[in-house]
Structure formats: C-alpha cells, structure tokens
Amino acid sequence: MAEFDTIRGLAGLCACLPRQDPSSAALFPGGHGNFGLAHGISGPLALLAHAPRRGIAVDDHEAVGTICAWLDSWRLDTPGGHRWPYMIPGTRRGQGPNKIV
C-alpha cells in the first residue's frame, strides 16, 4: 500500500497540493524554475530519456527537445566547464543567463 502512503505516496502528494508556502511565494511570486534532478526539470527529462531503454513507448518526443532547449538556453560556460543555476525566479523563465567566459 506504499503508493497511498502519506509520506511518499498519493495521500501525501494530495495533502500538499492545495497548500501554498507563504515563504516561497514571497521569494518567487511568479513561481520558479528548478534545474535539479531530484526536484527540477532534469528528473522528468531523465524519466523520458530512459523510458525507451525499458521498452516503454514515448509518443511525444517534443517534450525532450523542449526541455533540452530550455536547459541549453541557461547553460553557463565557465573556465571549469558547463554548469546550470540551481533555481531561477519565474519572472526570468524565458530569459537566459549572462554568459560567463
């Protein structure tokens, strides 16, 4: 019955959905973009990328291209290699970073 668990399952997810954290609303009034694997867009990207390897058909590959294009637009080129910001405010969703050379 783990899928209905309050901590990791559907019950916990549904309990959290109607709530809004006032502290995060103050920090990110227009929402935010998260680049991380655990809590951001990279998690769904990894899932979509691995689905065909597991024999799961993904009909719409547009999502993978859209996610990759958005990640590419935010890539920071640094002397140590490429990196991405951890999080951006929603007000900057359509903008890329200032490139660091």
Q: Can you give the pTM of this predicted structure?
A: 0.63
DSSP string, the chain: -GGG-TTTSHHHHHHHTT---HHHHHH-TT-EEE--TTTSTHHHHHHHHHTGGGT---S-THHHHHHHHHHHHT-EEETTEEE--SEEEGGGTT-PPPPP-
User: How many CA atoms within 13 Å lie on the side-chain side of 67?
Assistant: 19
pLDDT at 37: 83
- For the stretch 5-60, pLDDT in tens is 556 666 665 665 555 556 655 666 777 788 888 778 888 888 888 888 888 877 76
Spatial separation of the C-alpha atoms in residues 44 and 39, rounded to whole Å = 9
What number is the average pLDDT over the span 52-76? Answer: 84
Q: How far apart are CA 28 and CA 16, in angstroms?
A: 18
Instruction: Please tell me the predicted confidence (pLDDT) of residue 25.
Output: 59
